């Protein structure tokens, strides 16, 4: 039985019409695999994590992981760490629908609260660790296509790409300081305080004078 948001099965290694051993009912296998993947990526990093290791932690056959995540480890990472952290189809779309005015503070608040959720710090550290293993394209493609791409579509002018890139650098730097380096008082500051201080900076990068032709 499939559930909304479940990945579409990529094909069964056991042959057409057959189902891999270890399949569970009620869609529980997908959640078990994703949870196991989050733990494996967090503890072992991207390079040392394997489909077989995820399957072992989830208590399923490796064929079941490939059945649901045909893209392999990359697709598994994106689902477990990236796309599960923020739903761009609704969250970012709603932000952009509110117009460019005030978009900087709104975007910052959503990003901060997303990674401040339970387990968010660990997921963010996993994302950062992944960029250092030569698989940074997974993070970049997700951010560029699913998150920042939607913000870019709301901007006009020849410098829109630069504006979005500057916003991305500010967001990334703030998140690293807060969740990786744990620079105080940024690490323990309330979200509202950070939005009040940094939100106007993001808004200026989106709509203000950048001081160049």
Task: Give CATH 1.10.357.10 domain extents, the chain.
Answer: 91-207
User: Could you tell me if 127 and 139 are in contact, meaning their C-beta atoms sit under 8 angstroms apart?
Assistant: yes
The rounded Cα 115 to chain-centroid distance in angstroms is: 9
Q: Please state which of the ranges 6-15, 37-46, 145-154 shows the lowest mean pLDDT.
A: 6-15
How far apart CA 10 and CA 70 sit, in angstroms, is 5
* CB-count exposure of residue 92 (10 Å: 0-12, 13-18, 19+): buried
What is the 8-class DSSP label of residue 133? Answer: T
Was domain 1-84 assigned CATH 1.10.10.60? yes
Record the tokens describing residue 68, joined without a space. Answer: 């649901």
Give residue-wise pLDDT tens across range 77-122.
767 765 555 555 567 778 888 889 999 999 999 889 888 888 778 7
Domain with CATH 1.10.10.60 in the chain: 1-84
Ramachandran angles phi, psi of 39, nearest 5°? -65, -45
The secondary structure of 134-190 as a DSSP string is T-HHHHHHHIIIIIIHHHHTT--STTHHHHHHHHHHHHHHHHHHHHTS--TTTTT--
Asked whether residue 178 carries a pLDDT value surpassing 90, the answer given is yes
**Residue 13 binned pLDDT confidence (cut-offs 50, 70, 90):** very low
Any idea which of 36-40, 99-103, 119-123, 174-178 has the lowest mean pLDDT? 119-123
pLDDT per residue as tens digits for the range 153-162: 889 888 999 9
CB 67 within 8 A of CB 20: yes
The full length of the chain comes to 213
CA distance 16 to 127: 35
* 91-207 maps to CATH 1.10.357.10: yes
Nearest-angstrom CA–CA distance, 65 and 55: 7
Q: Please tell me the predicted confidence (pLDDT) of residue 97.
A: 84
| Tokens 């689902």 found at | 79
pLDDT(136) > 90? no
């Amino acid at each position: 039985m499939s559930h909304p948001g479940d990945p579409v099965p990529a094909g069964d290694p056991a042959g057409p019409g057959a189902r891999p051993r270890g399949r569970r009912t009620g869609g529980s296998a997908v959640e078990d695999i994703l949870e196991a993947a989050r733990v494996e990526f967090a503890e072992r990093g991207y390079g040392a994590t394997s489909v077989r290791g995820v399957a072992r932690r989830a208590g399923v056959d490796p064929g079941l992981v490939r059945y649901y995540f045909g893209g392999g480890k990359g697709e598994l990472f994106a689902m477990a760490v990236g796309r599960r952290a923020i739903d761009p189809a609704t969250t970012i779309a709603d932000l952009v629908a509110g117009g460019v005015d005030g978009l900087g503070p709104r975007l910052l608040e959503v990003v901060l609260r997303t990674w401040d959720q339970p387990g968010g710090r660990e997921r963010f550290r996993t994302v950062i660790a992944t960029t250092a293993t030569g698989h940074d394209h997974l993070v970049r493609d997700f951010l560029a296509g699913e998150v920042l791409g939607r913000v870019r579509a709301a901007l006009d002018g020849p410098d829109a790409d630069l504006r979005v890139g500057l916003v991305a650098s500010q967001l990334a730097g703030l998140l690293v300081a807060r969740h990786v380096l744990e620079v105080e008082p940024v690490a323990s500051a309330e979200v509202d305080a950070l939005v009040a201080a940094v939100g106007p900076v993001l808004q200026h990068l989106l709509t203000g004078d950048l001081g160049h032709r």
